[in-house]
Amino acid sequence: KRCSVTRFHFLPLIIFLVGLHAVEGIWPLPQTMTSSAERYSLDPQYFNFNYGRDSATQQGCSVLDAAFKRYFSIIFPDHISGSVFAERAALNAETVWGALRGNSNNLCSMFMNKGITFFVNKTEIEDFPRFQFRGVLLDTSRHYLPVQVILKTLDAMSYSKFNVFHWHIVDDPSFPYQSRTFPGLSSKGAFHPMTHIYTQSDVRRVISYARLRGIRVLPEFDSPGHTQSWGKGQSDLLTPCYKGGIPSGTFGPVNPASASSYQFMARLFKEVSAVFPESYIHLGGDEVDVSCWKSNPDVQVFMQKMGFGNDFAKLESYYMENLVNITSALNKTSIVWQDVFEYHERVSTPQQMIVVWREGCYLCEVRRVTKAGLKVILASPWYLDLPGPTHDWVRYYTVWPLAFKGTEEQKKLVIGGEVCMWGEYVDATNLSPRLWPRASAAAERLWSDEKQTSSVARAFSRLQDFRCKLLRRGIQAEPLFVGHCRHEYQGV
């Protein structure tokens, strides 16, 4: 009747955590950590965050002032603050972003005993991420996600030391980004022109909230495919499809044969570059269906003129080349899906980055891309929106991004990975439990040393404990297996 258990091929890790009275460890695991049984009690009344005397940052540093406040409440939940302090711990970092990660550690090593006294053990940690790019993709086109939901996700991301929010903001179904330059895009292309949009102030809020948590906001405006919703507010942008010599009334990808398409894109990306401080821009470029292009007489003429013959891959390349040039001119580095690498002839721009997303031998693709000297972000093994045994965190944990044959130089080109949460079946109602704690499994893979984190069995109880911490912080993270947390999720 509970056959679920046996059917899941899950390790028989039936651990009933009967109260976690000591710290189980940090998630993701720090690179080096020594701790002793010696412990110190912390009294919220006498606990303080300080700027070190020689620290380049001092009071007034927006990022750390806000983080001190935030982490005080996280470390001492339900505590109403006092203000004197006595003894001390030290945290050193090159940047405020490093300091944020350290805060996160610090609090993880706190625990409570039954008398609700807070303790921290004598500990020394030196830590740094294995990969520079550790992202979470949210898709706000297939379902609109209220801003609050995005902010909550940023909170949860910071707890797992993710540092990139890949905002797949528009796509076929809807265009929720309210553009200053082209307001028609959202007023006609969003699910609802007033309630299902991101205003400029929404976007600023997300960027600022992310910044305070050391998270970059990477915008994706995917083209030339995945643009059906763009066409509603921008006529003449998409390619009219033809059937039997006459327009069929349907539209295909962005029209690559028309100069106005590139003018539009240049203006749009100029705005996007100004709105998003992030130095990367994601151009998409995936899954272009060329059948509509094939049917269109203007495109056919253009193909001949350009000498592309019948090779539509050349046309795609031409289009993407133009977009890459547009973004380069704006001093932004472009990221594209692996499709572009595959059809693109002139792999000329070495600073370009490829996201590998297809299933199958994704490491083969990583090898090919790095061999061509391009940087790689790995997404294939972390499609968390896919249905399946939803509790199966193990498959997201046992991913070895560098396990391909290649030179040291090639391996260095793998700059990280990201968790993708596509929106076909995901919205505000199920995003959190579908992301957490499974995304945290990917987070450890991207942050921690692989050798120290290769054992699923050893990770399990630490991840269980980390999930309980997430619940305590109000993150709706689903359970890994039978058991309980001292503080269950109450937010219903």
The DSSP output letter for 250 is E
> With contacts defined by CB under 8 A, how many residues of the chain interact with its own copies?
64
Write down the least CB distance from residue 450 to its own copies, Å: 27
Helix or strand or coil: residue 333? strand
Longest dimension (CA), the chain: 83
Write down the least CB distance from residue 61 to its own copies, Å: 29
Q: Is 160 in the site for its own copies (CB under 8 A)?
A: no
Q: Is 388 in the site for its own copies (CB under 8 A)?
A: yes
Q: Which of 127, 220, 385, 444 binds its own copies (CB under 8 A)?
A: 385
Q: Is 242 in the site for its own copies (CB under 8 A)?
A: no
Write down the least CB distance from residue 482 to its own copies, Å: 4
Task: Give me the 409-428 binding string for its own copies, x by CB under 8 A, dash otherwise.
Answer: -------------xxxxxxx
Asked whether the beta carbons of 196 and 176 are under 8 A apart, the reply is: yes
Catalytic residue, from 287, 345, 409, 488: name it. 287
The span of 72-80, 123-131, 188-196, 410-418 binding its own copies (CB under 8 A) equals 188-196
Q: Is 461 in the site for its own copies (CB under 8 A)?
A: no
Looking at residues 85 to 114 of the shown chain, list those that interact with its own copies (rule: CB under 8 A). Answer: none
* Upper half-sphere CA count for residue 481 (Cβ side, 13 Å): 21
409 a catalytic residue: no
Q: Is 143 in the site for its own copies (CB under 8 A)?
A: yes
What lies within 8 Å, CB to CB, of 168 at 6+ separation is 137, 138, 139, 140, 141, 220, 222, 282, 422
Write down the least CB distance from residue 345 to its own copies, Å: 19
In terms of CB distance, is 277 or 389 closer to its own copies?
389
What span, in angstroms and rounded, lies between the C-alpha atoms of 462 and 440? 11
What lies within 8 Å, CB to CB, of 140 at 6+ separation is 150, 167, 168, 169, 170, 176, 198, 423
Give the chain's radius of gyration (CA, Å): 24
Task: Give me the 2-21 binding string for its own copies, x by CB under 8 A, dash otherwise.
Answer: xxxx--x-------x-xx--
The span of 33-41, 148-156, 234-242, 271-279 binding its own copies (CB under 8 A) equals 148-156
Q: Is 181 in the site for its own copies (CB under 8 A)?
A: no
In terms of CB distance, is 56 or 482 closer to its own copies?
482
Q: Is 466 in the site for its own copies (CB under 8 A)?
A: no
Strands, DSSP E only, in 448-487?
none
Q: Which of 118, 175, 337, 397 binds its own copies (CB under 8 A)?
A: 337
Least Cα distance to 438 among 467, 469, 402, 458 occurs for: 467
CA atoms 383, 389, 390, 396: torsion sign: negative
Q: Which amino acid is at 202?
A: D
Span between the terminal Cα atoms of the chain, in Å: 28
In terms of CB distance, is 123 or 380 closer to its own copies?
380
Q: Which of 250, 258, 430, 461 binds its own copies (CB under 8 A)?
A: 430
In terms of CB distance, is 102 or 437 closer to its own copies?
437
Q: Is 187 in the site for its own copies (CB under 8 A)?
A: no
In terms of CB distance, is 189 or 256 closer to its own copies?
189
Least Cα distance to 236 among 298, 291, 186, 284 occurs for: 298
Q: Which of 61, 112, 149, 330 binds its own copies (CB under 8 A)?
A: 149
**Six-digit token pair at 133?**
């790019």
The long-range contacts involving 110-117, CB below 8 angstroms and separated by at least 24 positions, are 110/23, 110/42, 110/75, 111/20, 111/21, 111/22, 111/23, 112/21, 113/21, 114/21, 117/41, 117/42
Residues lying near its own copies in the complex (CB under 8 A) are found at 1-5, 8, 16, 18-19, 142-144, 146, 148-149, 152, 173-174, 191-192, 195-196, 286-287, 337, 357-360, 385-392, 422-430, 432-433, 471, 476-484, 486, 488-492
- Residues annotated as catalytic are 287
